[in-house]
């Protein structure tokens, strides 16, 4: 594997932060001898976490006990520290991001928690809503049987990274009306995707070419999850998929007007949406469901949500989704702890524990999550 990186040039502090994101984009070159019939095969590796996931073996932590189980048909892995004190403890349900990489699980053994990860089915073979429903099934099973796993059912938090954060938000909304289950103690949303109405918010404009979340590719992947098919996304990027009545309804929640001015400083130009396309809307209309886009939930649901931790990164197209959700929660009296990573990018926490590949902000991100969970 030959990784080719850019050379660092003299530039502003903001430019250096952006470079730190871009320098971890690489081209992986596979010799022709490995792929018969090809002279050379180039694969774009959009972030090193993906490369590490593919080529670096996962090390087991001697301080943890792990067990693979099946909860009502959904594969899960349960982690708990070998030195956990007696009695029921806090429990964390973690829903992974798109790359399925979270290299910091061993850090949580210090907290004496029971830790559960869910292996939900994936698109395109299993498009929306299958992955989020798998996650919901596993969550409900765990909450109903918490005592069996040494967990206090009233002290369960749900956490998710990237689309796992989407699932976390959606599941917490689903559970607020369930009287047969204990109330979720808290939700942790790590750079989540929360709406598919507007891909021209300031964060999308500012970070359209920032890896790994290139704007066009991100939307294409999101629509593959939604529909199970590869689509031309040009119309969606321009907003042609949103009916005028829905745009008007959700404008109060999804608008650059609700983004603090300091987050527009790197550039923002208000754009008029393209003319509405009924054909395009028919293909993606399930994207207005709250299981896909939790930011569209009604106020009576939002105000019942549990205490929330939200982590956002400056160089991330999803940044403004987190900011808009933070505002909605706070407007309805939900306690919110917000941690913004000024030099961070989407996927930064995947570098935790990787030595020289670890960004300076990575352990700070991780510690912010750990501290929030400890304080519950």
> In this predicted structure, what is the pLDDT of residue 213?
79
Residues in the chain: 376
Domain co-membership, 35 together with 183: no
Q: Which of 96, 134, 141, 316 is catalytic?
A: 316
How much is the pTM? 0.84
Domain co-membership, 220 together with 366: yes
Is 6 within a domain?
no
Q: Which of 349, 367, 368 is nearest to 359 (CA)?
A: 349
Burial of residue 298 (CB within 10 Å: 0-12, 13-18, 19+) is exposed
Domain co-membership, 25 together with 169: no
> In this predicted structure, what is the pLDDT of residue 86?
67
Task: Give the pairing of strands 336-345 and 307-315.
Answer: parallel
Domain co-membership, 23 together with 160: no
Is 201 within a domain?
yes
Catalytic annotation on 162?
A: yes
Low-confidence ranges of the chain (pLDDT < 50): 1-57, 99-112
Is 300 within a domain?
yes
Domain co-membership, 223 together with 342: yes
Sign of CA dihedral 318, 323, 329, 334: positive
Summarize pLDDT for 35-71 with one digit per residue, the tens.
333 333 233 333 444 444 444 445 567 877 888 899 9
Domain co-membership, 226 together with 344: yes
Domain co-membership, 165 together with 281: yes
Domain co-membership, 219 together with 89: yes
| H or E segment and range at residue 80 | strand 74-81
Is 321 within a domain?
yes
Which residue(s) pair with 232 in the sheet? none
Catalytic annotation on 316?
A: yes
> In this predicted structure, what is the pLDDT of residue 33?
34
CATH number (domain holding residue 213): 3.40.50.1820
> In this predicted structure, what is the pLDDT of residue 122?
80
> In this predicted structure, what is the pLDDT of residue 225?
92
Residue 73 falls in which region: left (phi positive, over 0), alpha (psi -120 to 50) or beta: left
Domain co-membership, 33 together with 131: no
Domain co-membership, 102 together with 199: yes
Catalytic annotation on 368?
A: no
Domain co-membership, 23 together with 145: no
> In this predicted structure, what is the pLDDT of residue 211?
82
Q: Which of 96, 141, 241, 346 is catalytic?
A: 346
Q: Which of 25, 162, 203, 361 is catalytic?
A: 162
Question: Where in the sequence is the domain holding 130, given as residue range(s)?
Answer: 60-376
Task: Tally the domains of the chain.
Answer: 2
Domain co-membership, 180 together with 84: yes
Is 52 within a domain?
no
> In this predicted structure, what is the pLDDT of residue 96?
81
> In this predicted structure, what is the pLDDT of residue 337?
99
Is 82 within a domain?
yes
Is 121 within a domain?
yes
């Amino acid at each position: 594997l030959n990784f080719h990186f850019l050379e660092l040039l003299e530039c502003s502090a903001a430019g250096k932060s952006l470079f730190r994101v871009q320098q971890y984009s690489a081209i992986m070159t596979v010799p022709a001898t490995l792929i018969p019939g090809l002279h050379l095969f180039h694969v774009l590796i959009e972030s090193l976490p993906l490369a590490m996931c593919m080529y670096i073996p996962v090390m087991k932590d001697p301080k943890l006990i792990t067990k693979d189980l099946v909860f009502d048909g959904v594969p899960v892995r349960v982690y708990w520290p070998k030195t956990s004190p007696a009695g029921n403890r806090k429990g964390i349900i973690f829903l992974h991001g798109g790359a399925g990489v979270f290299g910091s699980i061993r850090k949580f053994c210090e907290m004496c928690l029971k830790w559960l990860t869910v292996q939900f089915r994936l698109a395109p073979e299993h498009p929306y809503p299958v992955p989020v429903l798998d996650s919901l099934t596993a969550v409900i099973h765990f909450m109903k049987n918490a005592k069996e796993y040494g967990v206090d059912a009233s002290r369960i938090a749900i956490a998710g990274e990237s689309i796992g954060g989407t699932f976390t938000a959606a599941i917490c909304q689903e559970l607020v009306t369930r009287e047969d289950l204990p109330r979720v103690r808290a939700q942790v949303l790590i750079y989540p995707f929360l709406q598919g109405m507007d891909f021209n918010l300031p964060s999308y404009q500012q970070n359209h070419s920032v890896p790994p979340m290139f704007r066009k590719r991100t939307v294409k992947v999101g629509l593959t999850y939604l529909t199970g098919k590869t689509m031309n996304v040009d119309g969606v990027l321009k907003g042609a998929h949103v009916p005028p009545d829905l745009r008007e309804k959700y404008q109060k929640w999804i608008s650059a007007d609700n983004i603090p001015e300091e987050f527009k400083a790197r550039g923002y130009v208000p754009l008029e949406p393209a003319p509405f396309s009924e054909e395009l809307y028919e293909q993606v209309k399930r994207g207005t469901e709250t299981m896909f886009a939790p930011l569209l939930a009604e106020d009576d649901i939002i105000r019942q949500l549990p205490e929330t931790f939200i982590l956002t990164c400056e160089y991330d197209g999803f940044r403004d989704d987190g900011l808009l959700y933070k505002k909605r929660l706070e407007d309805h009296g939900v306690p919110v702890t917000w941690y913004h990573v000024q030099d961070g990018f989407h996927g930064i926490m995947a570098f935790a524990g990787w030595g020289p590949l670890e960004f300076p902000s990575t352990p700070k991100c991780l510690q912010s999550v750990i501290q929030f969970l400890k304080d519950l």
